[in-house]
Structure 1
Amino acid sequence: MIRHTAMAVLLLLSEPSAVHAQGAGSPRAGHQVAREICASCHAVEPGQYHSPRQQAPSFERIARVPGMTTTALTVALRTSHKTMPNIILEPKELRDVTTYITSLRERR
Structure 2
Amino acid sequence: MNYATPTFLGLLAIAAPAAAQSTDPAAGRRLAASLCVECHRIDDKTPAKDEAAKAPSFVDVARMPSTTELAIKVFLRSSHRQMPNLILTPDEIDSLSAYIVGLAPKK
TM-score by length of 1: 0.69
Q: Decide which structure has the larger Cα Rg and report it.
A: 2
Letter in 2 for 1:78: R
Percent sequence identity over aligned pairs: 37
Give the CA deviation at 1:106. Answer: 2.2
Gap regions ≥5 residues in structure 1: 1-20
Any conservation in 2 of the 1:23–1:95 contact (CA below 8 Å)?
no
Gap regions ≥5 residues in structure 2: 1-18
Residue equivalent to 2:67:
68
CA distance in 2, matches of 1:36, 1:61: 19
* Equivalent runs, 1:48-67 vs 2, <5 Å: 48=45, 51=48, 52-54=50-52, 55-67=54-66
TM-score by length of 2: 0.70
* 1:73-97 Cα shifts (integer Å, max 9, x gaps): 0111111111111111111111000
User: What is the aligned residue count?
Assistant: 86
* Equivalent runs, 1:8-19 vs 2, <5 Å: none
CA distance in 2, matches of 1:41, 1:83: 10
Letter in 1 for 2:29: H
RMSD: 2.3
1:31 to 17, 29, 32: 29
Any conservation in 1 of the 2:37–2:47 contact (CA below 8 Å)?
no
CA distance in 1, matches of 2:47, 2:91: 27
Distance 1:50 1:85, change over 3 A: same
CA distance in 2, matches of 1:34, 1:94: 11
